[in-house]
């Protein structure tokens, strides 16, 4: 086992990530974190996946964690999808060949779903945890209207992202750790906020067909992203499996059921990567 540091620069933004190697990997998992957080919050997820004989790679998205860029901002939604592509290529240089799975949480879940459907890439499978298809409560219409007025004028204008930290998990220690983490932030730009809303609505338009197996997991007590939107997307999209966790909040990987959640994900990845 070992870890390789991954760094690259794209234009003005410097990215940082890590690739973790295990003995005789059965698959490779690429982690994409959520809004306002960073890949370092997934140490226990990485350790578990490594124990299951999966190589794991993770990076901090632009505007997050140790990577550069204004906090909570991206020039375009397509830029974020490009960043995932670039990261995957960087990982190819340091990890041995293996079936590759995308695993995204919240904003990361939105991104991996859109990537799988828009770009038809050769991922072996995709896992979306509490994907930001819709927010639990619809954003105020006036706020969305003002955002659309501001986007062509000051697209990078940033505001509070509206995340209620108490809704992350049932374990108060998770929230305390988040509050005390110097790498988390509470910002989102006008353009990124609207891009996330619009990309989620695109997923719900229907008529999509997954070109690789997709698993969506969501806690039914999530008060940040919509459990019902995840269910609706799964029911309307061929090739998508949906698993709901009763009582689960937003971060199932940090909730009391995390052991069952991670085991379910690992078993699903194993099933998809087996000949």
Span 108-113, average pLDDT: 98
Sign of the dihedral through C-alpha 171, 176, 181, 183: positive
Question: What percentage of the chain has pLDDT greater than the value 90?
Answer: 90
* Sole residue written with tokens 């988040």: 178
DSSP 61: P
Rounded Cα distance, 187 and 258, in Å: 27
Q: How many CB atoms lie within 10 A of CB 201?
A: 12
Rounded Cα distance, 34 and 225, in Å: 11
**Side-chain-facing half-sphere of 257: CA atoms under 13 Å:** 18
| Residue 119: φ, ψ to 5° | -105, -10
pLDDT of 140 higher than 90 = no
pLDDT of residue 275: 67
Rounded Cα distance, 84 and 266, in Å: 22
Strand 2-10 relative to strand 13-21: parallel, antiparallel, unpaired? Answer: antiparallel
Per-residue CA distances from 239 to 61, 62, 211 (Å): 28, 30, 8
Whole-model pTM: value is: 0.97
* Sole residue written with tokens 């379910």: 264
Q: Sketch out the chain's domains with CATH numbers.
A: 2-273 (3.40.50.1820)
Instruction: Note the pLDDT tens digit of each residue in 203-250.
Output: 999 889 888 999 999 999 999 999 999 999 999 999 999 999 999 999
Q: Which of 60, 71, 39 is nearest to 159 (CA)?
A: 71
Question: What tokens were used for 268?
Answer: 């699903």
Residue 161's pLDDT band, with cuts at 50, 70 and 90, is very high
Instruction: Note the pLDDT tens digit of each residue in 40-89.
Output: 999 999 999 999 999 999 999 999 999 999 999 999 999 999 999 999 99
Per-residue CA distances from 73 to 68, 115, 208 (Å): 10, 19, 28
Gyration radius from the chain CA atoms? 17
């Amino acid at each position: 086992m070992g870890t390789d540091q991954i760094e690259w620069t794209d234009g003005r933004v410097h990215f940082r990530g890590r690739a973790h190697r295990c003995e005789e990997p059965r698959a490779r998992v690429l982690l994409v974190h959520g809004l306002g957080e960073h890949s370092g919050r997934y140490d226990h997820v990485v350790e578990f996946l490594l124990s299951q004989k999966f190589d794991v790679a993770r990076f901090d998205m632009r505007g997050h964690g140790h990577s550069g860029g204004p906090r909570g901002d991206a020039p375009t939604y397509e830029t974020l999808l490009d960043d995932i592509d670039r990261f995957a290529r960087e990982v190819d240089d340091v990890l041995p060949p293996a079936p590759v799975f995308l695993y995204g949480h919240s904003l990361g879940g939105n991104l991996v779903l859109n990537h799988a459907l828009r770009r038809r890439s050769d991922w072996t499978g995709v896992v979306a945890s509490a994907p930001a298809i819709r927010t639990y409560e619809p954003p105020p219409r006036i706020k969305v209207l003002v955002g659309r007025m501001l986007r062509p004028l000051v697209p990078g204008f940033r505001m509070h992202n509206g995340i209620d930290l108490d809704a992350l998990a049932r374990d108060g220690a998770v929230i305390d750790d988040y509050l005390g983490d110097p790498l988390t932030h509470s910002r989102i730009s006008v353009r990124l906020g609207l891009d996330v809303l619009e990309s989620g609505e695109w997923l719900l338009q229907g008529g999509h067909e997954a070109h690789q197996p997709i698993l969506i997991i969501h806690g039914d007590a999530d008060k940040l992203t919509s459990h019902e939107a995840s269910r609706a997307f799964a029911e309307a999209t061929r090739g998508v499996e949906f698993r709901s966790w009763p009582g689960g909040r937003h971060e199932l990987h940090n909730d009391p059921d995390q052991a069952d959640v991670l085991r379910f994900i690992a078993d699903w990845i194993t099933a998809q990567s087996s000949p």
